[in-house]
Amino acid sequence: MGKHGVDILNLDVDKLIQMLNEALAEEWLAYYQYWIGSRVLEGPMRTDIEQELQVHADQELNHAVMVADRIDQLGGTPVLSPADWMKLSKCKYAAPEDPYIEVILDQNLDAERCAIKRYQEIADFTYGKDHTTYKMATTILEEELEHEQEIEDWMADIDIMKENLKKLRM
């Protein structure tokens, strides 16, 4: 974006770039969390959920592209080193040390809820001031909400499956 485009934004652009860089670090960590989680996964419904987690991973990576491009347009520098991801991220990276599917889904759910908070915050900060970032934030927010919903649905399905198994044993 040209200098004029940045000048007319009625907000603290440095603060916005900082928030976007935190979001960018979070997207990369979320991407990796899904990417590695889908590969170590064990337990019920594994084959179906494994593929879905890979779809989520791709979507997080696409969010990273959108956020990095916007930082660039605003005249900022997207975080340059993976070593800074953990420092910038406000969302916890939870290594999937326990590969059991419910544990992994729980970790992913936490990350999604953190992402939802992040894009809500960016949307609030840019509302009525920076329409482009606002639009991007709400587009990403919608996908994070879908991710959260899908994970909750899988967790509910696993619960039903466990209940049914219990009944069979009785």
**What secondary structure letter does DSSP report for 128?**
T
The runs of H, that is alpha helices, within the chain are 3-7, 13-40, 46-73, 85-88, 101-126, 131-169
**Contact residue for Fe ion among 136, 147, 150, 154 (CB under 5 A):** 147
Site string for Fe ion, 88-127 (x = CB under 5 A): ------------------------x---------------
Q: In the window 28-67, what residues touch Fe ion (CB under 5 A)? A: 60, 63
Q: In the window 63-82, what residues touch Fe ion (CB under 5 A)? A: 63
**Least distance in angstroms from the C-beta of 119 to Fe ion:** 8
Long-range contacts of 119-122 (CB under 8 A, 24+ apart): 119/23, 119/144, 121/19, 122/16, 122/19, 122/20, 122/23
**Least distance in angstroms from the C-beta of 64 to Fe ion:** 8
Which residues of this chain interact with Fe ion, rule CB under 5 A? Answer: 27, 60, 63, 112, 144, 147
